[in-house]
């Protein structure tokens, strides 16, 4: 890769560098290639959405479709400025998007905290605008939250995982955690890519560090305290 191009892709694009994109949404298959569920909304009643950026979205999506309690997964682009970008445009570094996995899950079967465990343990959240040899804004680590409860739990999990990383000699977490912006579906051939191409590119950048076993207990306590405080405030 050309050094100057690589350097350009390692920073968010300036306003005058952003590609214009298009109004038309990307066409994607109606059904998930593995789970046979719907890729696009509406999703089943009672389901929830989680979205993560953790490097190349091919392998990341497979991790989640293999997780019990997950209803559907899809890959796309989020966190940038170009509407309905193509993969080639995202790769230029001039859209600002993250390669994102959308996870639709049944909270009665798998908790958001368990999905966060997969997220933290299956990539390196300390690398900034890259994962291993994959370099650029699209590979940055991110948790794109849906609602205050997810935001709170994601931040708590970050703090718990940071303590474990530090104890293991790793650096500081660079993961973005913020409300989910618009999600643009990626092209058909990216959806469930590793089902279609079983021996396709699937790097492993896991640090070997695990989310502490007591995180779920402490998170539940924090959630109960927040809910109680909200109830008191509403009663005033």
Reported confidence tier of residue 212, pLDDT bands at 50, 70, 90: confident
Residue 204 in this model has a pLDDT that exceeds 90 = yes
- Exactly one of 50, 56, 71, 104 is catalytic; name it: 56
Residue 138 in this model has a pLDDT that exceeds 60 = yes
Q: Is the pTM of this model over 0.85?
A: yes
**What token pair was written down for 225?**
């305290």
Q: What is the CATH number of domain 13-211?
A: 3.30.1060.10
pLDDT tens column, 56-70? 999 999 999 999 999
The yes-or-no answer on residue 56 being catalytic is: yes
Rg over alpha carbons for the chain, rounded to the nearest Å, is 18
Between 76 and 214, whose confidence is greater? 76
Question: In what order do the strands lie in the sheet containing 98-105?
Answer: 176-179, 142-145, 48-53, 98-105, 70-78, 184-185
Residue 36 to residue 111: CA distance in whole angstroms: 22
Residue 226 in this model has a pLDDT that exceeds 90 = no
Residue 23 to residue 92: CA distance in whole angstroms: 20
Reported confidence tier of residue 216, pLDDT bands at 50, 70, 90: confident
Looking at residue 42, its pLDDT comes to: 96
3-state secondary structure the chain: CCHHHHHHHCCCCCHHHCCCCCCCCCCCCCECCCCCCECCCCCCCCCEEEEEECCCHHHHHHHHHCCCCEEEEEEEEECCCCCCCCHHHHHCCCCCCEEEEEEEECCCCCCHHHHHHHHHHCCCCCCCCEECCEECHHHCCEEEECCHHHHHHHHHHHHHHHHHHHHCCCCCCCCEEEECCCCEECCHHHCCHHHHCCCCCCCCCCCCCCCCCCHHHHHHHHHHHHHHHHHHHHHC
With contact defined as beta carbons under 8 Å apart, do 215 and 209 qualify?
Answer: no
Find residue 52's DSSP bridge partners: 101, 143
Q: Which of 6-15, 30-39, 51-60, 210-219 has the weakest average pLDDT?
A: 210-219
- Per-domain residue ranges of the chain: 13-211
């Amino acid at each position: 890769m050309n050094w100057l191009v690589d350097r350009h892709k390692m920073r968010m694009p300036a306003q005058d560098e952003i590609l214009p994109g298009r109004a038309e949404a990307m066409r994607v298959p109606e059904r998930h290639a593995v789970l046979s569920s719907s890729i696009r909304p509406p999703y089943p009643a009672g389901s929830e959405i989680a979205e993560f950026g953790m490097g190349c979205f091919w392998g990341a999506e497979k991790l989640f479709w293999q997780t019990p309690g997950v209803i559907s997964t899809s890959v796309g682009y989020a966190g940038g400025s170009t509407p309905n970008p193509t993969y080639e445009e995202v790769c230029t570094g001039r859209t600002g998007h993250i390669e994102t996995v959308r996870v639709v899950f049944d909270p009665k079967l798998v908790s958001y905290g368990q999905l966060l465990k997969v997220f933290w343990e299956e990539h390196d959240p300390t690398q900034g605008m890259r994962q291993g040899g994959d370099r650029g804004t699209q590979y940055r680590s991110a948790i794109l939250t849906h609602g205050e409860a997810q935001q709170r739990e994601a931040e708590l999990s970050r703090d718990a995982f940071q303590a474990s990383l530090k104890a293991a000699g790793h650096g500081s977490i660079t993961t973005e955690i913020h409300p989910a912006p618009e999600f643009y579906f990626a092209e058909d051939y990216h959806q469930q890519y590793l089902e279609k191409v079983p021996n396709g590119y699937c790097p492993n950048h896991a640090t070997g560090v695990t989310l502490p076993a007591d995180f779920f207990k402490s998170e539940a306590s924090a959630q109960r305290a927040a809910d109680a405080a909200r109830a008191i405030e509403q009663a005033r």
